[in-house]
Structure 1
């Protein structure tokens, strides 16, 4: 009996010991702001959780006794708190210190979980709103070009810039808006990025194949443009008003943004307007056909709960911009304008009157672009895993008016409807491995409306792809990689074009129409792609690291490359596609070295990119070497396909002396070489076919800035800066059939001053920026400026050919908080 009592007592003691578990709860903050998605873990056990959108967390069933709670999160110093658990409920709050932004910026593009820049083996750059505001920008892509080495842009006037990453552009660069892939007519030279530049608060750039996450069209990289999300206190309505004036083309821009937080809801709204007349340079004067007018509207609503969040947003973009063609009087070099359809003679057009050059009124030959976007992005949390869902619909409407005798008749009128879907599941961690599985793609339909020119057929395609991505940290080494498979189906029916008897122009007709001809025979094809990446980062020390990555990218041919057979009136080019084209595949190696020193940040990025089935444009010539003219006054280009190789480097040396905290001296260099490896062309034409088209020359940018560390009267941290952009000669160009020509180098000097104005009590009045681009009004032509090739004469009286880039441009910008 005594033995039984002893056993019973031992059992009670054991049960009591088992029952002695505590609940640990608290709030995680940083400088008074609550932090979401901070991991709280009991050291030495599997017990962990994450803080929610209010910064709160709860850990249950933590055994009594002394334990270590580890608080960790992207961008914050890990904090360990020793706790003695003697009660059922214990409150443990934590206030984390943020890490240096240049060491640990949070990025979400090109990867599948939030990660630090230093941990990602893929070259990634982040551009803040502050940096963009401190430069003169005529559009958002211009801001990115100035802020990220290795990024350039093909331009058609000041309002059209198409991003290129390391010499690759068009559909090889995937642009995202808030994670949703941007779908317009990206295949056209004169088709810009349909985004409100004043609405973007942050830009993230992946330099290298990102097909693993996004599938086709991310062969060169990704640019993610992220709009503002409010994070201030509850019940407050805040906003800003931006006013911007630029002297060169009289650009007037204004934007009003509002944001409101109410309990778990966050609301935003923005309205923007921009207008400009023709831009000016000292060679051409005012360049006819470069005025534009743009409007933007956007709104969003986001709900944050313990289970995750859901955000719904809508945007509207409306842009009317003129179509330049570069026609001139042969002697005076003054611009001329088209006034006839039938009987038009480039050499006998009337000269443009002065009052038509310096007006905000859009001329009859213009294009009208509208872009609608509606999407929802949501995250659902399941303990240590989460599901991310993004669905969205877009409509891109493009009209190009190129008939002076019938100004209301569009030459090109296409409507592109796209449905996007993207699902990513971040699995629970296992053995220190963080992994993601995903499925994404899109369905797209393009239709021509009441038009007279049909460069591409009506088509539809369906994309689907699945991937697996994983990463693991092992001491000083971070390893990540994954694999993906894609399928794209594209098809269209027979497309007949005939004659409109009332106007004499072409129109779409049925197969039985006597005037009709089969311009686009029916087509159906499936494209498949296998892509993947593997990379590592070795943190030699907290201040020095080495990165290496190898990735295989995939891109299916776009619609113009396989299906085009007609005039694009906005580009003044007849494009001819090739139905036999195969998908592009590339294999790129990246090697990077980064040093974060006491007085400097130094980085070196090297890349080597081999592309199979590379597609590019080339002028079409006949057997005698003369240009083929299908539509008078318009060039004819035919797409080619071959092997290609691109290689180069980017170097950044940013000095910020610790003893001179007011001084920064930033320097960057970017160099890219693109080699055409079409052996047949090389054997026949030699150096004329040696290089790829649209490759930027060597570029060096340097900026010196002085920033006051304390307020000076009403000026809070005023700054003054001067910067220079040096572009070398581009003598490595695709010269076959005069597709490109030599471009002389040039140097542009820019400067600016700015400050935040404050009251005596330290309240912000506004931010002001006074800046100047091309201070010395240098006459130059970028080799990526398409207007360089808008020339109709073999020689001219002033020995100048084509149209020059923008001259001196003074800018005043003011941002007033509301």
Structure 2
């Protein structure tokens, strides 16, 4: 009895360290016993109630080499401290997007790419999505000027790509063609991209993939205050950007704060000159506080986004091709407007016809630890306010004025490991309500939406094979009441009215419908060796139709489009197969990914024409699009090569290729129109990006690791386009040459003064139009004197950026 009592008093504890300090979430197992624990936020671990004797401890964690330690336990308490070595970052990046537990990049069968802050800083970007497009093969963007980029993954976009901010769904008015992502690009330190259906974790709207934008998390010593100041100037549109951020650590608490501002006048190219209606002014504020305790952690954060942004309508003088502007409401003739004065083209002032977008975000994410399991809770509230001003005679009157309020919830319980299986149960969703305010145009009705979904996810490692997968069931309800639109007798513009108003017409009859989705995935990674992997995954995704696809019936003044929806649409479902081969060699990293994606009930836009084939004009000067639904198939490949010769450490060569084909499988249209209806709209052409970079391995005076690089972006002809009703036209290919130099400036004592980046995009000022540029189709004449149609992309652009630590 006395020996038994003594055995229960023996303890084993210690500290897990690395070169960067204490390490949390390291699993510590006692070999041969069903005993394991994890290191806490301070790196400490502890076992109690052990018997005396010899033990083998195994320390393992994401991004670290596993370590085995022999222990002899004789006294009441034994202290075993250990230091773990980091693994090569290209083999074991920690990812948290599209999966439910932190996992190593090499073990995930789902195609995932990661782009760092360093990569973002070393490119010329006017927004965050543009930076991701340049850094991740297979990701493109539909653009409307320099400040609006809607992400597409492997040819699918809009509500099929789910964007996250720190794990929270980004909920704005994503349905609009010119509605961008409301995120501060200077606040993001890392972006993770899931390429393929991720409905298992997030439910509807992740049919094509997920982009998670992760803000800065401080990793500083207790009592330390750090910060940085960023300044950026770009020559093409005169953009000035500045951002200042601070981080403070005190005991168990970490605090962050950031403020950002950007302003730009119209951009230019050698065909159009200065493009009227492309100026913008953006402000961002964010703050957060995180506490780490033995029971887990909790983070609360708030963000504010405010953007004044112009959108061009493309109106011009027919002979001079100079841009014109609308000055009348009644009697406006889009082909007979006054020319914009030269002084207004270079002005930073926002013109009266513009958009004002505000986004507020408040959320809390917490983790509660229970031994070898943990509960993760994310709760957030968002408000998106969008005003689009389109009345020159009454500039203070918004054409579109909508307010979207969203409440998000996400609960995930990571169960204790059982027989080597790591599993997660979860339930998440959202409630949102969208309301029109004092507007004159109503493209969509006021609606309420409620989402709920539950899932189970599991993964297991069996020798050289890592397997993961799961199932999910979703339900979405969308409803709205009768919505009447009448006439304001004072202004003559439209307004929302009651059913009893004599001027009112029923624009949106009431609607109430539930959508259900079953989704899931199953995949494996086969480690042929430490350096060679084969990955395969099959996933079923689900997306309920968005509000504009089922409910739209009116003008979106910012997009210059009249949308017509279809209330009978069914949810989209897709089945995507992925296979990839990845080799991590001594002098090179090589990867090849192939995908095949079949979609049921695919929804897309098509121009509306009459019986004679002429475009239907409901609102003069605005295009009319009607949504269609059919089967579709997308397939393609992505290949990447990263050369980093061991014997030539200063040299790095990267090249990537991405190719996607999108096929419209609407047999009725194919039979009637043939090739004109064969392909899907907004499919990117063949793209090849190549970069050669030389980095000094030793300081040159005050310059630490200075680099010089040159890169080329080749875009092939896009002759596989949706040509029916001239929805799209042929787009010739082009090549852009870019370059840059940069360095960290340090004193002889090693103190960092700043980081500087000098870069140039489109060095040879090539005149080009991307097939994903909506401005390509902003044209109101069948012919023009210079033989050019639509608006061209940005010309040569020099950028200077400096980051000063505080």
The question of whether the paired residues in 2 share the 8 Å contact of 1:441 and 1:464 is answered with: yes
Q: Which residue of 2 aligns with 1:215?
A: 203
Alpha-carbon offset, residue 19 of structure 1: 2.1
- Where do residues 470-509 of structure 1 align in structure 2 (5 Å cutoff)? 470-509=458-497
Alpha-carbon offset, residue 32 of structure 1: 4.5
Q: Which residue of 2 aligns with 1:426?
A: 414
Query: Structure 2 residue aligned with 1:622, among 589, 604, 610?
Result: 610
Query: Structure 1 residue aligned with 2:748, among 760, 769, 773?
Result: 760
Q: Which residue of 2 aligns with 1:301?
A: 289
The answer to whether residue 793 in structure 2 is matched with residue 805 in structure 1 is: yes
Alpha-carbon offset, residue 476 of structure 1: 0.4
The question of whether the paired residues in 1 share the 8 Å contact of 2:144 and 2:311 is answered with: no
The answer to whether residue 345 in structure 2 is matched with residue 371 in structure 1 is: no
Q: Which residue of 2 aligns with 1:590?
A: 578
The answer to whether residue 782 in structure 2 is matched with residue 794 in structure 1 is: yes
Query: Structure 1 residue aligned with 2:442, among 451, 454, 470?
Result: 454
Alpha-carbon offset, residue 59 of structure 1: 1.4
Residues 550-569 of structure 1: CA deviation (Å, up to 9, x unaligned): 00000000000000000000
Residues 95-131 of structure 1: CA deviation (Å, up to 9, x unaligned): 1000011100000000000000000000000110001
Q: Which residue of 2 aligns with 1:346?
A: 334
Q: How many Å separate the matches in 2 of 1:43 and 1:428?
A: 17
Q: 1:680 and 1:814, CA in 2 relative to 1: closer, same or farther beyond 3 A?
A: same
Alpha-carbon offset, residue 88 of structure 1: 1.4
Q: Which residue of 2 aligns with 1:4?
A: none
- Where do residues 149-298 of structure 1 align in structure 2 (5 Å cutoff)? 149-298=137-286
Q: How many Å separate the matches in 2 of 1:336 and 1:295?
A: 29
Alpha-carbon offset, residue 15 of structure 1: 3.8
* Root mean square deviation of aligned Cα: 0.8
Q: Which residue of 1 aligns with 2:590?
A: 602
Residues 47-78 of structure 1: CA deviation (Å, up to 9, x unaligned): 11111111111111233222111110000000
The answer to whether residue 33 in structure 2 is matched with residue 45 in structure 1 is: yes
Residues 262-319 of structure 1: CA deviation (Å, up to 9, x unaligned): 0000000000000000000000000000000000000000010010000000000000
Q: How many Å separate the matches in 2 of 1:63 and 1:336?
A: 86
For 1:141, what is the secondary structure of its paired residue?
helix
Residues 703-754 of structure 1: CA deviation (Å, up to 9, x unaligned): 0000111111100100000000000000000000000000000000000000
For 1:411, what is the secondary structure of its paired residue?
strand
- Where do residues 16-35 of structure 1 align in structure 2 (5 Å cutoff)? 19=7, 22-35=10-23
Q: Which residue of 1 aligns with 2:700?
A: 712
Query: Structure 2 residue aligned with 1:65, among 53, 78, 98?
Result: 53
The answer to whether residue 111 in structure 2 is matched with residue 111 in structure 1 is: no
Q: How many Å separate the matches in 1 of 2:160 and 2:717?
A: 25
Aligned length: 806
Query: Structure 1 residue aligned with 2:676, among 667, 683, 688?
Result: 688
Q: Which residue of 1 aligns with 2:371?
A: 383
Q: How many Å separate the matches in 1 of 2:656 and 2:11?
A: 52
For 1:653, what is the secondary structure of its paired residue?
strand
Q: How many Å separate the matches in 2 of 1:676 and 1:134?
A: 38
Query: Structure 1 residue aligned with 2:601, among 613, 629, 633?
Result: 613
The question of whether the paired residues in 2 share the 8 Å contact of 1:21 and 1:64 is answered with: no
Q: How many Å separate the matches in 2 of 1:516 and 1:584?
A: 35
Q: How many Å separate the matches in 2 of 1:513 and 1:32?
A: 69
TM-score by length of 2: 0.99
The question of whether the paired residues in 2 share the 8 Å contact of 1:370 and 1:398 is answered with: yes
Alpha-carbon offset, residue 85 of structure 1: 1.5
In structure 1, the gaps of 5 or more residues are: 1-10
For 1:40, what is the secondary structure of its paired residue?
strand
Q: How many Å separate the matches in 1 of 2:179 and 2:343?
A: 28
Query: Structure 2 residue aligned with 1:679, among 658, 667, 678?
Result: 667
The answer to whether residue 514 in structure 2 is matched with residue 532 in structure 1 is: no
TM-score by length of 1: 0.98
For 2:541, what is the secondary structure of its paired residue?
strand
For 2:528, what is the secondary structure of its paired residue?
strand
Q: Which residue of 2 aligns with 1:725?
A: 713
Q: How many Å separate the matches in 2 of 1:61 and 1:673?
A: 62
Q: Which residue of 2 aligns with 1:544?
A: 532
The question of whether the paired residues in 1 share the 8 Å contact of 2:145 and 2:311 is answered with: no
Query: Structure 1 residue aligned with 2:559, among 571, 580, 597?
Result: 571
Q: Which residue of 2 aligns with 1:781?
A: 769
Residues 238-263 of structure 1: CA deviation (Å, up to 9, x unaligned): 00000000000000000000000000
Q: Which residue of 2 aligns with 1:3?
A: none
The question of whether the paired residues in 2 share the 8 Å contact of 1:671 and 1:699 is answered with: yes
Q: Which residue of 2 aligns with 1:90?
A: 78
The answer to whether residue 311 in structure 2 is matched with residue 311 in structure 1 is: no
The answer to whether residue 314 in structure 2 is matched with residue 326 in structure 1 is: yes
The question of whether the paired residues in 2 share the 8 Å contact of 1:20 and 1:64 is answered with: no
The question of whether the paired residues in 2 share the 8 Å contact of 1:235 and 1:262 is answered with: yes
The question of whether the paired residues in 2 share the 8 Å contact of 1:403 and 1:409 is answered with: yes
Q: Which residue of 1 aligns with 2:619?
A: 631
Alpha-carbon offset, residue 348 of structure 1: 1.1
For 1:682, what is the secondary structure of its paired residue?
helix
Q: Which residue of 2 aligns with 1:739?
A: 727
For 1:788, what is the secondary structure of its paired residue?
helix
Q: How many Å separate the matches in 2 of 1:245 and 1:239?
A: 21
In structure 2, the gaps of 5 or more residues are: none
The answer to whether residue 569 in structure 2 is matched with residue 581 in structure 1 is: yes
Q: Which residue of 2 aligns with 1:6?
A: none
Q: How many Å separate the matches in 2 of 1:687 and 1:116?
A: 44
Q: How many Å separate the matches in 1 of 2:267 and 2:235?
A: 9
For 1:159, what is the secondary structure of its paired residue?
coil
Q: How many Å separate the matches in 2 of 1:115 and 1:475?
A: 16
Q: Which residue of 2 aligns with 1:665?
A: 653
For 2:713, what is the secondary structure of its paired residue?
strand
Residues 556-599 of structure 1: CA deviation (Å, up to 9, x unaligned): 00000000000000000000000000000000000010000000
Q: Which residue of 2 aligns with 1:748?
A: 736
Query: Structure 2 residue aligned with 1:441, among 429, 432, 439?
Result: 429
Q: How many Å separate the matches in 2 of 1:20 and 1:553?
A: 51
Q: How many Å separate the matches in 2 of 1:665 and 1:21?
A: 59
The question of whether the paired residues in 2 share the 8 Å contact of 1:309 and 1:380 is answered with: yes
Alpha-carbon offset, residue 463 of structure 1: 0.3
Alpha-carbon offset, residue 20 of structure 1: 7.0
Q: How many Å separate the matches in 2 of 1:187 and 1:450?
A: 20
The question of whether the paired residues in 1 share the 8 Å contact of 2:54 and 2:71 is answered with: yes
Alpha-carbon offset, residue 21 of structure 1: 6.0
Alpha-carbon offset, residue 388 of structure 1: 0.2
The question of whether the paired residues in 2 share the 8 Å contact of 1:477 and 1:536 is answered with: yes
- Where do residues 112-131 of structure 1 align in structure 2 (5 Å cutoff)? 112-131=100-119
Q: How many Å separate the matches in 1 of 2:14 and 2:384?
A: 48
Q: How many Å separate the matches in 1 of 2:12 and 2:419?
A: 25
The question of whether the paired residues in 2 share the 8 Å contact of 1:365 and 1:402 is answered with: yes
Alpha-carbon offset, residue 22 of structure 1: 2.8
Q: How many Å separate the matches in 2 of 1:761 and 1:544?
A: 42
